[in-house]
């Protein structure tokens, strides 16, 4: 009986991995230039981390977490997002004692039990950054701009940052009460999950996907009308910085994000894909109470998370590929056992010199080996037979031009190096 891959997971196959590797390389280069240091946290954590960190009224905690009991009946959860684990590590390892501003990046698999669709799997991959220790609007602008730099360096077009300010704890409490008053007359018409959140976290209703609930929410008051002059000033400063940096952004006072830890600025990266509505590539915001909520000191933070599967879809849609050439430098062909005894160590020598080289391991005829060289997109084929071996020479053929010449075997590496 064949065992198939679990629903909501995909194999990333050879030929696809190269695109992933390039995307991950660009992410690391962008974060390193901005002085964000990579951190790697466990794939599973204590369930309480996400209940406290992400929020018990979120879809993630209520519906989507992969939670299980270990052999000692402790509740563990596969991480559904990256921020909570990074902040837990920052607190546990007291990283804030090393620097007043801690800048971290992460990349890896996350897990959510939801309906699989294009760009949204149950095991998915996320790239994110966190900057902890500063309330300066300039760091908010840096975080938003860094994500846009990532998209720019991949060559993606048509991406915008949509930003909002969801207020601090006190401002949201006032706003919550006003939202409750607004939604109460429509309570019977709201979706079940929206009704359950009406008195716990009415702001989450603004994020509902239910058509009638969305229609009702469209008339709800704006959070911006409940912000203090200080919060509005910070928000305007962030906008000014983004404008000065040339970041493509728009204001959207309906963005609340799907995580309860956000305060002040919140944002999403959006792209319009053909034949579909605007798609979210990722997003983030400020979380000034999260470090303290997870047992650390009262430190502010801001960051983002970007779904890499969605970036892959965008790259494929815009037909973007890694900028470096594919293929190998040389395919070695040995005609006969004596020649093969020479080619095996010669292949190893070429690889040690940094050249991409391959040979035949199936004892195929020369015609089949040339076809294999074509499949490998080889620049050169080097042929060694008994006659060449006797002269200590090897035939080198340029597959693009068809030109062929004979050189000393020991010169093959340097010859290929000069041709790169």
pLDDT of residue 118: 80
pLDDT of residue 155: 96
- Per-residue pLDDT, 95: 97
Helices 412-419/337-352 angle, 10° precision: 50
- The DSSP bridge partners found for residue 105 are 38, 129
Question: pLDDT 10s per residue in the chain (420 long)?
Answer: 899 999 999 999 998 999 999 999 999 999 999 999 999 999 999 999 999 988 877 778 888 999 999 999 999 999 999 999 999 999 999 999 999 999 999 999 999 998 888 878 999 999 999 999 999 999 999 999 999 999 999 999 999 999 999 988 888 889 989 999 999 999 889 898 889 888 888 888 887 888 899 899 889 999 999 999 999 999 999 999 999 999 999 999 988 776 677 889 999 999 987 665 568 899 999 999 999 999 999 999 999 999 999 999 999 999 999 987 779 999 999 999 999 999 999 999 999 999 999 999 999 999 999 999 999 999 999 999 999 999 999 999 999 999 999 999 999 999 999 987
Residues 6+ apart with CB under 8 A from 213: 189, 190, 191, 194, 205
Residue 2, helix vs strand vs coil: coil
The pTM for the full model equals 0.89
Outline where 271-365 has alpha helix (H): 290-293, 308-317, 337-352
User: Which ranges in 218-307 belong to alpha helices (H)?
Assistant: 229-244, 290-293
pLDDT score for 120: 85
Q: What domains sit in the chain, N to C, each tagged with a CATH number?
A: 17-168+228-317 (3.30.930.10), 330-414 (3.40.50.800)
Query: What pLDDT score was predicted for residue 397?
Result: 97
CA dist., res. 294 & res. 397, Å (int): 64
Q: Report d(CA 219, CA 198) in Å as an integer.
A: 16
Let me know if 175 is exposed, middle or buried by CB neighbors in 10 A (0-12, 13-18, 19+): buried
Asked if 286 contacts 301 with a C-beta cutoff of 8 angstroms, the reply is yes
What does 125-175 look like in DSSP terms, one character per residue? EEEEEEEES---HHHHHHHHHHHHHHHHHHT--SEEEEEEE---HHHHHHH
**∠ CA 176-194-7, rounded to 5°:** 130
Residue 399 carries which DSSP code?
T
Whole-angstrom CA distances from 204 to 32, 115, 207 are 35, 20, 5
Reduce the DSSP state of residue 211 to 3 states and report it: helix
Given the structure tokens 């006190």, which residue do they identify? 170
**Residue 370's pLDDT is what?**
96
């Amino acid at each position: 009986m064949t065992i198939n891959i679990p629903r909501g997971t995909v194999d990333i196959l050879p030929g696809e991995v190269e695109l992933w590797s390039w995307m991950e390389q660009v992410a690391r280069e962008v974060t390193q230039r901005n002085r964000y240091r990579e951190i790697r946290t466990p794939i599973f954590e204590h369930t309480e981390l996400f209940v406290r960190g992400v929020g018990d009224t979120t879809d993630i905690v209520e519906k989507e977490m992969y939670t299980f009991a270990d052999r000692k009946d402790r509740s563990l959860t596969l991480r559904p997002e990256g921020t909570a684990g990074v902040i837990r590590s920052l607190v546990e390892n007291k990283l804030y004692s090393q620097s007043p501003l801690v800048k971290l990046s992460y990349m890896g698999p996350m897990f959510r039990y939801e309906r699989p669709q294009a760009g949204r799997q149950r095991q998915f991959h996320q790239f994110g950054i966190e900057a902890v220790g500063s309330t300066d609007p300039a760091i908010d602008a840096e975080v938003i701009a860094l994500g846009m730099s990532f998209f720019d360096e991949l060559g993606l077009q048509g991406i915008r940052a949509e930003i909002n300010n969801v207020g601090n704890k006190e401002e949201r409490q006032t706003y919550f009460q006003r939202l409750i008053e607004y939604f109460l007359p429509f309570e019977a018409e709201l979706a079940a999950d929206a009704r359950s959140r009406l008195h716990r976290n009415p702001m989450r209703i603004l994020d509902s996907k239910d058509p009638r609930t969305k229609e009702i929410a469209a008339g709800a008051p704006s959070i911006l009308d409940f912000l203090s002059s200080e919060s509005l000033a910070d928000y305007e400063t962030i906008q000014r910085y983004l404008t000065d940096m040339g970041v493509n952004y728009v204001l959207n006072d309906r963005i609340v994000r799907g995580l309860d830890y956000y305060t002040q600025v919140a944002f999403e990266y959006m792209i319009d894909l053909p034949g579909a509505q605007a798609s979210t590539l990722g997003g983030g915001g400020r979380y000034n109470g999260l470090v303290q909520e997870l047992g650390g000191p009262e430190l502010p933070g801001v960051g983002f998370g970007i779904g890499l599967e969605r970036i892959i879809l965008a790259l494929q849609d815009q037909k973007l590929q890694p900028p470096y050439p594919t293929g190998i430098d040389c395919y070695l062909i040995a005609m006969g056992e004596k020649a093969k005894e020479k080619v095996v160590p010669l292949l190893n020598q070429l690889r040690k010199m940094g050249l991409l080289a391959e040979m035949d391991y199936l004892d195929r005829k020369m015609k089949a080996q040339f076809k294999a060289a074509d499949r490998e997109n080889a620049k050169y084929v080097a042929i060694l037979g008994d006659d060449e071996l006797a002269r200590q020479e090897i035939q080198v053929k340029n597959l693009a031009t068809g030109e062929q010449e004979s050189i000393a075997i020991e010169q093959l590496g340097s010859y290929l190096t000069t041709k790169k």
